[in-house]
């Protein structure tokens, strides 16, 4: 995508990665992504805010050439991960006068990850300012969104926040701004779930700091820019709050159909009780959609058959994922079918140590469920409704 002017003298010069379908060889990217880099020119100095993934370095360089950029004084590096930092060595070759402006922790990461030499850095501290002449960059150290070295930049005169990964979205689009707000929010929620959710307590603290800043625009390093910052800030405040919904995420896998029958019965039993339910068949589930679904439900139910004495590997993966992402779910349990013996309950519940959940009585069935087993699932649905009511989630 060619350069886009955000404000006079502030230009998007990044790259849109339309085709990328996997991040960190882990996270599916159904809508691609972008690596946003911004050139900010002051009356005396010019700063490049973040770079792009190394495979898109040509596009960044081409955009700088299209703008006729002869000199870059500062490369602001918010975060050591290579999708933003990976083109720093190339920019330093083209603009040898540039200094990499970052904090001490990020400097150490850039040295080990990219072999940037010590003399190339200008190290800044929390709330330190850097003048570009008639423009001033202020750096806010904001660890754990999502690495320990992350920081944000606030452009004082225009009141623009550049938060790098924080508040971003994996969404390739030719629209510079969040025009289709519903679509952007959906992508941002998925991104939050996959990348930021484990760090909710840190995000709360960062919002306390940011409440002292007037923000007219949020320009992240992935996805569209928010020229209506409340769109993303208010959404984040909901996601990180302690409020959960009258909702169950039911992640299931079935080998010969018995666990599927149980999952289907529980789904219907919840629906007739007015509990919203999102079933995910783990054999076909997009793992990002499952992560997104975990942002706000009150209850997580895993459903698994027993294989080789324990839960199915897909159920183990779902439990691992839920535990790693640390959603704010309050209740959980396991249901499933087994043939002659099982350790699935101890195994799966033992994997949820990060979640502060109250456990419902598991429902395990020998073979294909019978009427009395369906009745146990009805009792589980009753319990779920009761707990949700007790938590004030049912009107």
**Which is closer to ligand FEO, CB of 166 or CB of 239?**
166
- Rounded (10°) CA dihedral 318, 319, 320, 325: 90
Using rule CB under 6 A, residue 83 touches ligand FEO: yes
Using rule CB under 6 A, residue 296 touches ligand FEO: no
Ranked by CB distance to ligand FEO, the top (closest) residue is 81
Among the listed ranges 37-45, 81-89, 289-297, 381-389, the one in contact with ligand FEO (CB under 6 A) is: 81-89
Residue of the chain from 84, 99, 189, 265 that contacts ligand FEO (CB under 6 A)? 84
Residue span 134-153 as binding mask against ligand FEO, x where in contact by CB under 6 A, dash where not: ------------x-------
Smallest distance, ligand FEO to C-beta of residue 311, A: 31
Q: If you search the block for the tokens 């991104």, which residue do you land on? A: 191
Smallest distance, ligand FEO to C-beta of residue 220, A: 9
Number of Cβ within a 10 Å radius of residue 63: 22
Residues 260-271 as b or e (16 or more Cβ within 10 Å = b)? bbbbbbbbebbe
SS (H, E, C) 111-143: HHHHCCCHHHEEECCCCCEEECCCCEEEEEECC
Contact set for ligand FEO, span 256-285 (CB under 6 A): none
**Which is closer to ligand FEO, CB of 56 or CB of 84?**
84
Smallest distance, ligand FEO to C-beta of residue 230, A: 23
**Which is closer to ligand FEO, CB of 152 or CB of 380?**
152
| Separation of alpha carbons 10 and 207, rounded Å | 25
Give the number of residues written for the chain.
Answer: 395
Query: Cα separations (Å) of 311 from 40, 287, 307, 336, 365?
Result: 53, 18, 6, 9, 13
Using rule CB under 6 A, residue 81 touches ligand FEO: yes
| Burial zone of 383 (CB within 10 Å; 0-12 exposed, 13-18 middle, 19+ buried) | middle
Terminal-residue alpha carbon distance, the chain: 48
Smallest distance, ligand FEO to C-beta of residue 33, A: 8
Give the count of residues interacting with ligand FEO (CB under 6 A): 7
192 three-class SS: helix
Classify residue 385 by its DSSP letter: H
Among the listed ranges 13-21, 78-86, 202-210, 330-338, the one in contact with ligand FEO (CB under 6 A) is: 78-86
**Which is closer to ligand FEO, CB of 170 or CB of 265?**
170
Site residues (CB under 6 A) for ligand FEO? 79, 81, 83-84, 146, 165, 222
């Amino acid at each position: 995508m060619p350069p886009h002017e955000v404000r006079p003298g502030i230009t998007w010069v990044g790259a849109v990665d339309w085709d990328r379908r996997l991040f960190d060889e882990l996270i599916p990217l159904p809508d691609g992504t972008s690596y946003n880099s911004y050139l900010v020119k002051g009356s005396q100095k010019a700063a490049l805010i973040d770079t792009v993934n190394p495979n898109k370095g040509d596009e960044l360089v081409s955009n700088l050439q299209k703008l006729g950029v002869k000199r870059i004084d500062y490369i602001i590096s918010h975060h050591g991960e290579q999708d933003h930092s990976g083109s720093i060595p190339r920019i330093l070759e083209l603009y040898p006068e540039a200094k990499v402006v970052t904090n001490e922790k990020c400097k150490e990461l850039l040295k080990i990850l990219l072999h940037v030499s010590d003399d190339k850095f200008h190290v800044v501290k929390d709330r330190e300012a850097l003048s570009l002449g008639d423009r001033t960059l202020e750096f806010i150290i904001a660890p754990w969104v999502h690495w320990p070295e992350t920081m944000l930049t606030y452009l004082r005169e225009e009141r623009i926040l550049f938060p790098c990964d924080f508040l971003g979205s994996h969404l390739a689009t030719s629209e510079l701004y969040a025009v289709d707000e519903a679509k952007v929010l959906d992508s941002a929620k998925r991104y939050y779930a996959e990348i930021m959710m484990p760090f909710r307590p840190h995000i709360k603290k960062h919002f306390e700091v940011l409440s002292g800043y007037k923000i007219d625009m949020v320009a992240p390093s992935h996805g569209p820019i928010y020229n209506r910052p409340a769109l993303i800030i208010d959404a984040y405040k909901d996601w990180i709050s302690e409020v959960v919904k009258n909702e169950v995420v039911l992640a299931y896998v079935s080998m010969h159909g018995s666990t599927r029958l149980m999952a289907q019965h529980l789904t219907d039993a919840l629906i007739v009780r007015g509990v919203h339910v999102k079933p995910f068949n783990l054999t076909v589930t997009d793992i990002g959609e499952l992560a997104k679904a975990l942002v706000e439900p009150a209850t997580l139910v895993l459903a698994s058959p027993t294989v080789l004495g324990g839960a199915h590997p897909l159920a183990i993966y779902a439990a691992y994922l839920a535990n790693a992402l640390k959603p704010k779910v309050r209740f959980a349990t396991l249901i499933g079918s087994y043939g002659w013996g099982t350790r699935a309950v101890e195994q799966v519940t033992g994997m949820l140590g990060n979640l502060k959940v109250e456990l419902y009585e598991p429902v395990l069935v020998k073979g294909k469920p019978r009427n009395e087993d369906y009745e146990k699932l009805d009792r589980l649905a009753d319990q779920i409704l009761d707990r949700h009511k007790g938590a004030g989630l049912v009107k």
